[in-house]
C-alpha cells in the first residue's frame, strides 16, 4: 500500500529556510489522478493546507503562504519537497505530506487527502 | 481562525451516537464536496469520509457524512473508546482558491 514519509531538520533558525522531503513508496508518484500536498498543524491547533504539486511539476500554493513557499518533485527518486523561506516562530508546526485527490465533478470541486505521512515536527528557534 | 467552524468538543457514552457539525459558507461547503478526518492522539489524520458521504475502503459504516446547504455533519454510531480522537472537516474554498479545514472537534467517550 502507498506510504509517505517526511524527512528533514527538526530545528530551523528564524529568518532561515525550512526544507523537507516526502518519500513515496508502495505506489507511483506519477499517478494521473492525484496531486501531492503539504499540510501543517501548529501545536494545539488545526490544519493548514500549504499547497500541492502534480508529477509534471505544476504547482498550486495557498495564496496566504505563496510568497514564501516552493514545492518541487523528483519523480526519479519518488520524492517531492517543500521549501519555506524567512521562517518565524509562527511557522513552528508538524508538517505532513499527503496524496491529494482534487478536481471538478458534478458541478463542484472535490478535495481529499489520503494517505498522510506520519508528520515531522519543525521548531523555529534560535 | 479556521475558515470552517466546528464545536471544540462533543461527548457521549459507549454505544451511543455523536454528531459533529461543520459550518461554512457558499464559497466552500455550499458549493464543494466535504471530507472528514480522524486524528488519534499522536498520529496523523486519517481520511474517514470524502465527497460529502463516501467512505474509503476499510472505514466502518458506523461513520457517516451528510451535508445541507453550507453545513456538513459527521455521524459516529456505536461509539467506542477507540473513537476518542479529534475530527476535522475539510473542503475547497472557491473564493480563497485554497483547501480549508475546520478547527477540529475532540470526541470524548464517557
Q: Nearest Cβ partner of A108 from B31, B100, B102?
A: B31
Mean pLDDT, rounded, of chain B: 97
Query: A39, A73, A78, A43: which is closest to A58 by C-alpha?
Result: A73
pLDDT per residue as tens digits for the range B33-85: 999 999 999 999 999 999 999 999 999 999 999 999 999 999 999 999 999 99
pLDDT tens-place string over residues A105-114 = 889 999 999 9
In this predicted structure, what is the pLDDT of residue A31?
A: 74
Name the DSSP letter for residue B84: -
Contacts of A56 (CB under 8 A, 6+ apart): none
Q: In the numeric block, which cell numbers belong to residue B43?
A: 498520529
Share of chain B above pLDDT 90, in %: 99
Chains A, B: CB contacts within 8 A come to 78
Task: Report pLDDT for A33.
Answer: 82
Using the structure block, give the residue that is written with the C-alpha cell 457558499: B26
Chain A: residues touching B (Cβ < 8 Å): 37, 39, 45-49, 62-64, 96, 100-102, 108-119
Partners of A47 in beta bridges: A41
CA distance A66 to chain B (A): 11
Q: What is the pLDDT of residue A18?
A: 97
- B20: cell is 459533529
Q: For residue B48, is it left (φ>0), alpha (ψ between -120 and 50) or beta? A: alpha
Residue with cell 499540510: A39
In this complex, the residue of A45, A111, A115 whose CB is nearest that of residue B91 is: A111
First and final CA of chain A: distance in angstroms?
39
Average pLDDT, consecutive stretches of 10 residues, N- to C-terminus, chain A (126 residues)? 96 98 94 91 88 95 96 96 96 97 92 97 96
Amino acid at each position: 500500500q502507498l506510504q509517505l514519509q517526511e524527512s528533514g531538520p527538526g530545528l530551523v533558525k528564524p529568518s532561515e529556510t525550512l526544507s523537507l522531503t516526502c518519500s513515496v513508496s508502495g505506489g507511483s508518484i506519477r499517478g494521473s489522478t492525484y496531486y501531492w500536498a503539504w499540510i501543517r498543524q501548529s501545536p494545539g491547533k488545526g490544519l493548514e493546507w500549504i499547497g500541492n504539486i502534480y508529477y509534471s511539476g505544476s504547482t498550486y500554493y495557498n495564496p496566504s503562504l505563496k510568497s514564501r513557499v516552493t514545492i518541487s518533485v523528483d519523480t526519479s527518486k519518488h520524492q517531492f519537497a517543500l521549501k519555506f523561506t524567512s521562517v518565524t516562530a509562527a511557522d513552528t508546526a508538524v508538517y505532513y505530506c499527503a496524496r491529494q485527490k482534487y478536481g471538478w465533478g458534478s458541478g463542484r470541486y472535490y478535495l481529499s487527502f489520503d494517505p498522510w505521512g506520519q508528520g515531522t515536527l519543525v521548531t523555529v528557534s534560535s | 481562525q479556521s475558515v470552517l467552524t466546528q464545536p471544540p468538543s462533543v461527548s457521549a457514552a459507549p454505544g451511543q451516537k455523536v454528531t459533529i457539525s461543520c459550518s461554512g459558507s457558499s464559497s466552500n461547503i455550499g458549493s464543494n464536496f466535504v471530507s472528514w478526518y480522524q486524528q488519534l492522539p499522536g498520529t496523523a489524520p486519517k481520511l474517514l469520509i470524502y465527497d460529502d458521504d463516501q467512505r474509503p475502503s476499510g472505514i466502518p459504516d458506523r461513520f457517516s457524512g451528510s451535508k445541507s446547504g453550507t453545513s456538513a455533519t459527521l455521524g459516529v454510531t456505536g461509539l467506542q473508546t477507540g473513537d476518542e480522537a479529534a475530527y476535522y472537516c475539510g473542503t475547497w474554498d472557491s473564493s480563497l482558491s485554497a483547501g480549508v479545514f475546520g478547527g477540529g472537534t475532540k470526541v470524548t467517550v464517557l
